[in-house]
Amino acid sequence: MKVLLLGSNGQLGWELQRTRPDNITLTTSDFPKINFCNTGSINQCINSTRPDCIINAAAYTAVDKAEQEKDLAYRINHKAVLEIAELCRKNTISLIHISTDFIFNGRNFKPYQPDDTPDPESVYGKSKLKGEQAVRKILDDQALIIRTAWLYSAHGNNFVKTMLKLMKEKQNLSIIDERHMALPKPYGQLLKKT
Ligand SMILES: NC(=O)c1ccc[n+]([C@@H]2O[C@H](COP(=O)([O-])OP(=O)(O)OC[C@H]3O[C@@H](n4cnc5c(N)ncnc54)[C@H](OP(=O)(O)O)[C@@H]3O)[C@@H](O)[C@H]2O)c1
């Protein structure tokens, strides 16, 4: 199967490349480098690659900065995703699209389920939700949307790396402590067995 990986230089994209199964032919969007702000670049990348499946791990991920760069966040997280979904529909390409827990407001007292009502509060969350909605509307069952949270990788910046750096610099740290992660049932059961 020929898979085109978008965002191959990001945390997730990097790890997906590193852990690629042998039966997958992975093409990255590095050559020619895709620009999500440019419709022509998106068309060119997908039309020249002609994959069976696209994994979209690319996104505008600067959560705080997005409040000032609203147009850019929406261009990358919504409009570009819509354009990619349209190309997938036209060329019968499956799409795996990565989304985020930021599409929820975080005030639930129990773990979120896929059908819970989204209510994003930040520009980042709102732009990612618009991207999800475009994928669903255009591709329906031809797409899989994965909402992940708190990614960590040796490549790129993340919470763990920030903490390691701050722990070297400071005596005391103030860190949020109201985030809880729950594993979906099958994974919870699986972990108990192993
Ligand atoms: N990080 C988290 O904790 C977290 C949590 C929940 C969900 N997610 C979601 O998981 C996915 C992957 O996140 P990540 O942490 O791996 O992201 P990341 O490390 O910030 O990487 C983002 C990727 O998007 C690419 N990109 C950004 N702007 C682009 C543009 N204009 N045109 C083309 N490519 C562009 C970047 O390319 P360059 O490197 O070339 O700029 C990079 O490869 C995203 O959908 C994100 O919303 C992440």
pLDDT by residue (tens digit) across 125-134? 999 999 999 9
Q: How many whole angstroms separate alpha carbon 157 and alpha carbon 175? A: 17
pLDDT confidence band for 193 (50 / 70 / 90): very low
Ligand 1: which residue has its CA nearest to atom 5? Answer: 149
Checking if the pLDDT of 174 tops 60, the result is yes
For residues 186, 188, 191, 193, the Cα torsion angle rounded to the nearest 10 degrees is -70
φ, ψ of residue 22 to 5 degrees: the values are -60, -30
Q: Which CATH class is domain 2-193?
A: alpha beta
Angle between helical axes of 39-49 and 80-91 (0-180°, round to 10): 30
Q: How far is CA 8 from CA 17, 31, 141, 152, 179, in A?
A: 7, 11, 24, 15, 28
pLDDT confidence band for 191 (50 / 70 / 90): very low
For residues 53, 115, 108, 57, the Cα torsion angle rounded to the nearest 10 degrees is 10
Query: Mean pLDDT in the chain?
Result: 90
Note the pLDDT tens digit of each residue in 80-122. Answer: 999 999 999 999 999 999 999 999 998 887 888 999 999 999 9
Ligand 1 pocket, CB under 6 A:
7, 9-13, 34-37, 57-61, 76, 98, 100, 128, 148-151, 156
Q: How many whole angstroms separate alpha carbon 11 and alpha carbon 2? A: 21
Domain boundaries, the chain: 2-193
* 37 C-alpha to ligand 1 centroid (Å): 14
pTM over 0.85: yes
Length of the chain: 194
Active site residues: 124
